[in-house]
Structure 1
């Protein structure tokens, strides 16, 4: 999953403080949920197992998961609760593909944080709760942006180091981003990552939903579109800047993907050749 393709919509965000005898079930099961334990103790029980909840723990509940929750330990249980939809968006400039719901984020069911990390997470989640004001576009947008940033940081912090496959994929994406302007091939990328071409293809199909060749081609086209829209560069200059062998190759590939020549695309969007 590419984090930059994610979009979120918060359905509920609130502080939740419950008494020592509190019990409840998960009512809204069609959304993603974060439960951050600020203080107190409790128990979260699902088909995946029983989890003792205590201060500094973050629970992530995927859509469809049944959960029974209860306070424990003879004291108030203080939490932050955020319920949200999550969708994957993809497309090109001026052309979006249909959104596809994310069934599960690549996060553990339960994670523990201490010290500075716990304080930063508490601050970030509190900011989301305090920003989210339904019906107020600016504050809702701020809350959604904060949630996306938090999800990205959690992915970075909680991805297991032993997940070599995902690490290889992310290294491949970074290399493509650095070298798309060069005559870079899938064979060269595989060699630099010390994997076979077939394994590289499997990695990109698994995490990006497309082959490395297609990923590189789309990246080059996105950069080419930006140059067409925001510079007065010639087609020859754009072709060189985006890794095409010459302007004829660039024009042929652009027309194949966009349905019109790059010069026509530029004219239609306010730039003259």
Structure 2
């Protein structure tokens, strides 16, 4: 959004949820000013005045969703989202995935798209309830930014890293802090996240390119095909040979 972005309303016909994915802003609601930053989520609706503005030089980016009906009102109240104050959520990437799914389905012209959107919205609201933090903790923004930087690094360069310690060294943080970040925002350890990235790539090589198991093991820099097979089975529950007509060692 523009650096001078400003929205000021005394009323709104629908119930709305907004989540900040980038940048900083200021929310005035309930007679108080609330700083908006990455990971902040808030809601408003009929009769709730609010003012939202961007704080330069950052350009705030938000996801939003408008809802209507008594069910929407009751659900937002149950989640504590109509108390005129923002909250923070853990594992924010889960919300992004759902918001993007809702957006794609809303643009679809099929007969089932409306029903699918309704189902996805319910899941999104359940996820917010599941992942919301008890308070808008001051360390959330810095920790989330660090997590996002590490996550992007791993997604872009997963072939270069074999262990979580390798990632921690590259980013300049301790392995213990890296582990805490991933447990907080991803719900699993950093090594498990890295391993899944590497094994997803391995599965693509086996299924789409038809590479042999040994060739994939070499591509991922494993000492031998058997070590690779153990890692693959840890993620998928089946050996890589089950995805390929080529057996290990051929």
Structure 2 length as normaliser, TM-score? Answer: 0.49
Higher helix share: 2
Which structure has the greater CA radius of gyration? 1
Compare relative contact order (CA 8 Å, sep 6+) and give the higher one, 1 or 2. 1
Structure 1 length as normaliser, TM-score? Answer: 0.45
